[in-house]
Chain A
Amino acid sequence: MKQEKLLEALTGVGDDLLELAQNKRFPNPWRRWGKIAACLALVLCLTALALPYLPMGCGSAKSEAPMADTSGANEKADVTEEAAPAETPELPAEEPEAPVENDGGVEKTMTKFVVCGTYYYLQPQYATSLDEPPEELGEELGTVTSAALPELLGCTVYKEQNSAVFDRYAVDGQAVTQNVWVRTADGYVRAVTANEKIVSRYTFADVEQAVEDEDADWLLETFVRPLEEHGRGEIQFADASQLTADQLNRLVPAFAAMNMGVTVVDHWAEDGQLVIPVSDVRFRLERFLTGFTYEPEGTEAYDPARNAVILPREAADLDESVQLTLEDAVLSDANTLCLTVSRQDGVRREYVIRFDTDSWRYLQIREIAE
């Protein structure tokens, strides 16, 4: 068999090559960032969903006004001007509709707290807990002045020393993210802060960098693979209004996987199905599709009684056989990225992604005729 001959012939390649493959490591800074980015995305999306439930701290009064409680004023008094960071984090300006009753996991998945005017988020599914002080314990930032979890109030918060890796992503001198360690009564717990405005600028800046670096893997992972693997290669549109109900439903787990990973998809799992509250569907679709409004009525998978879209659990599975090659990545103007991608089955597609002030969205996904 021809393949066997290749396999046999491979046996004799140079010792140095075998040694290289055995000993070489490729530490991937993107990978590490990717995990944090996933955390951030989770935080940001869930924050928007959770706003009605969260006690508000002392951040932007404008964005928080509808939900702020009286404790906000007291907390604000706790924050000295010297201690406050240069930029106050902004939560998503657009408020999605309130979660439906089924969406009961929001509070369980994140906890917000405030230190010196900056929001930090503790996410149980990503948190690391230690009994002893971590090696990376850096300078003290202050104490928690406001927290959804009363146990966090008054806890001392420290910078994580090796978060310096993210300093290169700083915008206007302020780091996009800062991992911190919270000293609780039970030990040390890791948390992260995020500023959506900065994150979105960061995102765009890095795409530019990625194009320059020809970092095909990162571009494919971020913008293409989730849709190709979930969408079975069938998702394409000149504009979002052309998407069929079936395609839309497939996009929801795809988008969830794209930014949030399996954890959140599992969050919707219920008796072998995915029960996705309409608020989640709407939030995700409108997040990623330009000028799109989701109307669940008329979608077969929509269950009005639960106000949820119900899909088979397999809808979140990946088609792992998809092989993608990035042929081209061009910033066609200051805000638009065009990716030309080919699949192993010969289909070539162009992904047009638009970056705007708060995020990035798909403008178009179209097949390129030969």
Chain B
Amino acid sequence: MEDSAIIDLYWAREERALQETETKYGGLCRSIAFNILQSREDSEECVNDTWFRAWNTMPPQRPGVLPAFLSRITRNLSLDRWKRTRADKRGGGQLPLALEELGDCVPAAGSVEEALALEELTRVLDRFLRTLPERECCIFLRRYWYVDSTRDIARRYEMAEGSVKSTLYRVRQKLRAQLEKEGVVL
């Protein structure tokens, strides 16, 4: 079913919207949640919460890109849940690794006046990603947005895992330079 038809079902308050969403985007959202949470049970709950939130936000919202809209909800819910649970158990998984890697991008403190608001930081990141070659942009997003493992990224983009790592390293260095240039303090 076309995305616009699924959105129409939400607007018509037809519960079939949820089934169609599950059929078409269940796998995508489940993989995002699982990459972050590393727990089938928790990720299943996050995905169900995603459908619930989508139900509550459409209408009034009419997302332009439905998978991005749903993925974003899943990601937010999963990150929130991860934060809540990490105090109790420090698990493995991709997120701690991705976070550790992102430490490379954090500029040295002291060069700028004030910390940036989250929205402004999002704008900086958005601008930065658009300056990258497509492949670098995609690899970066797969790693730090979708929280894919480097192995999965290598498989997805038909690259050697080492190339993925070196690309990520290069992009992190570029991002750090960009954040410093823009005077971003986190």
Contact = CB atoms under 8 A, between A and B. Distances in A.
B75 to A, nearest CB: 6
B166 A8 contact: no
A14 to B, nearest CB: 6
By secondary structure, the A interface counts as helix
A323 B69 contact: no
B144 A2 contact: no
B72 A11 contact: yes
B102 interface: yes
Contacts of B2: none
B60 interface: no
Contacts of A15: 63-65, 68-69
Given A20-B134, A25-B158, A217-B159, 15 more contacts: A3-B102, A6-B102, A6-B105, A6-B125, A10-B125, A11-B72, A17-B141, A20-B138, A21-B141, A26-B135, A26-B138, A320-B161, A322-B165, A323-B165, A323-B169
B68 A10 contact: no
A21 B162 contact: no
Q: Which 10 A-B pairs have the closest CB atoms?
A: A21-B141, A15-B68, A323-B169, A12-B122, A9-B121, A2-B186, A15-B65, A3-B102, A18-B68, A217-B163
Given A3-B102, A24-B134, A24-B138, A9 B125 contact: yes
Nearest to A27: B158
B160 A13 contact: no
Contacts of B182: none
Interface of B: 28, 63-65, 67-69, 71-72, 75-76, 79, 83, 98-100, 102-103, 105-106, 118-119, 121-122, 124-126, 129-130, 134-135, 137-138, 141-142, 144-146, 156-163, 165-170, 173, 186
Nearest to A216: B166
A9 B142 CA distance: 15
Contacts of B65: 15-16, 18-19
A4 B99 contact: yes
Contacts of A7: 79, 98-99, 102, 144
A11 B159 contact: no
Interface of A: 1-22, 24-28, 31, 217, 220-221, 225, 229, 320, 322-325, 344
Contact of B145 (A10, A323, A344): A10
Contacts of A344: 169
A13 B157 contact: no
Nearest to B185: A2
B162 A5 contact: no
By secondary structure, the B interface counts as helix
Contacts of A2: 103, 106, 186
B54 to A, nearest CB: 15
Contacts of B63: 15
A229 B125 CA distance: 32
Nearest to A26: B157
B129 A325 contact: no
Contact of A13 (B64, B122, B156): B122
21 contacts: A6-B121, A6-B186, A7-B79, A8-B79, A8-B118, A9-B121, A10-B144, A13-B141, A15-B63, A17-B141, A19-B68, A20-B134, A20-B141, A21-B137, A21-B138, A22-B146, A26-B138, A27-B158, A229-B162, A325-B169, A344-B169
A176 to B, nearest CB: 21
A19 B79 CA distance: 20
Nearest to A1: B99
A13 B144 CA distance: 12
B126 A17 contact: yes
Contacts of B161: 320
Nearest to B103: A3
B154 to A, nearest CB: 10
Contacts of A31: 158-160
Contacts of B76: 11
Contacts of B144: 6-7, 10
A338 to B, nearest CB: 19
Contacts of B68: 15, 18-19, 22
Nearest to B115: A5
Contacts of B129: 13, 17
A116 B43 CA distance: 60
Nearest to A218: B163
